[in-house]
Chain A
Amino acid sequence: MTEDEKFFAWLDGELAPHEAAEMEAKVAADPQLQQLVEQHRALGAQLRGAFDSIEAAPIPERLQAALRPSAEVIDFAAAKRARTMPSLSQWASMAATLAIGVLVGTMVPQRGGAPVEVQGGKIYAAAALNQALDTQLASAPSGDVRIGMTFRDQAGEICRSFTQPAASGVACRDDGRWKLKGLFAAPEGQGSDYRMAAGMDPNLASLVDSTMTGEPFDAAQEKAALKRGWR
């Protein structure tokens, strides 16, 4: 232990009695050290004072809600339980890789700008899809694109699942843009069926499941995230 470390260990009450007595005598004989003691005691008090205001503050509702997750995410939990076939998610992630190439081809020549664009080997949301991901709340659907869930991935970035007439998918924030994590063609004949809940499409659900950490955002969190620019 250096002398500095010994001094601070003494200040924090971490020294053994005989060493503490030694340091105490040293400090008593040194006005400069005494000043340092005062400064650091004041610093400690200031730190504790500032952060104790957090400890004393009421707990925000969303944190209380996190302790009783069943109330918030009942739909998604039900969707998870409904997927009983263990091999399904493996197939789904393979499909996610395959589906994207096929789909980009069919989506590019759409009117009003393609919903995706490829840049540097990454696929980003564009046009109406980008607009919807940026501005739309799940609670207030409008236009062709419908937002399902908003959540964070393992890297802490915000992701959103979406459904549009031809496809559904998940996009996550990547340097200020929406990078597509997966895209699935809508099953034949269900192309415009919006009634199917996003979490119920097994491909999409398993991609959401493997991407998400924690629980999906509730309406208030989604709104707050929008206000913060999805950071």
Chain B
Amino acid sequence: MDQLSSFDDQLASLLPRLRRFAHSLSRDSADADDLTQATIERALKSRDQWQEGTRLDSWAYRIMRNLWIDTARARTRRSTREAPEEEGLNVGEDPRDAMDASVDLKRVMTAMGRLPDEQREVVALILVEGFGYREVSEMLGLPIGTVSSRLVRGRTALLAMVGEQ
């Protein structure tokens, strides 16, 4: 029982970081919170698959990333039908009152949203979440060289986009 409640507590304490990761993957805050919620639900359901003594954060991040990939097709279909610019700027739950903070977030989310999925996840995990190359390579099941080359392409494209805004 102790083990179970410690799982819940640890997952609860990961929530702010999971939400942050979801925002760096998603188009807007509503999508990000849908993804976060689905991740929590999946993690609770799959708790038996988590091995005590291994990192819960990497495990939960991997769940979120896989759920995000799973819905990629539906997402692409939707975003081609809708006006992407409008949606990209539609931040549903502004986390801070300060105007400049929300403008910053919208701008950065829009730029991230224009990266190819495989670059976006690497940029999010390393530059925003602070994971190391090796950790990300294990989390995503990719060779470290692939992680590193996607990161170069992603951050170079981002710099160009943020620069032109």
Contact = CB atoms under 8 A, between A and B. Distances in A.
A172 to B, nearest CB: 11
A188 to B, nearest CB: 37
B162 A46 contact: yes
A156 B33 contact: no
Interface residues of B, number: 55
B155 A59 contact: no
A8 B152 contact: yes
A30 interface: no
Contact of A40 (B34, B36, B159): B159
A151 to B, nearest CB: 11
A152 B37 CA distance: 11
Contacts of B56: none
Contacts of A1: 145, 148
Given A67-B11, A69-B41, A55 B17 contact: yes
Contact of B128 (A5, A47, A62, A231): A47
Interface string A41-59: 0011011111111111111
A155 interface: yes
A215 B42 CA distance: 10
Interface residues of A, number: 46
A72 B81 CA distance: 34
Interface in B90-118: 93, 95-96, 101-102, 104-105, 107-109
A214 B158 contact: no
Instruction: Give 8 nearest A-B pairs by CB, closest first.
Output: A57-B95, A156-B71, A214-B41, A50-B108, A55-B20, A66-B40, A55-B16, A54-B20
Contacts of B95: 53-54, 56-58
Interface string B7-33: 010011001110110011000001011
B138 to A, nearest CB: 14
A2 B96 CA distance: 41
Contact of A9 (B15, B37, B133): B133
B16 A43 contact: no
A59 B15 contact: yes
A50 B24 CA distance: 10
Interface of A is mostly: helix
24 contacts: A2-B152, A8-B152, A9-B133, A39-B159, A43-B159, A47-B24, A47-B108, A50-B101, A51-B105, A51-B108, A51-B128, A53-B104, A54-B16, A54-B23, A55-B16, A55-B17, A55-B19, A56-B16, A58-B95, A63-B19, A63-B40, A156-B70, A214-B38, A215-B41
Nearest to B38: A214
A62 B133 contact: no
A14 interface: yes
Given A2-B152, A46-B104, 17 more contacts: A5-B149, A9-B133, A43-B158, A47-B123, A47-B128, A49-B104, A50-B104, A50-B107, A50-B108, A51-B20, A53-B104, A54-B20, A62-B33, A63-B37, A66-B40, A152-B38, A224-B30
A60 interface: yes
A39 B160 CA distance: 10
A5 B152 contact: yes
Contacts of A157: 74
B50 to A, nearest CB: 15
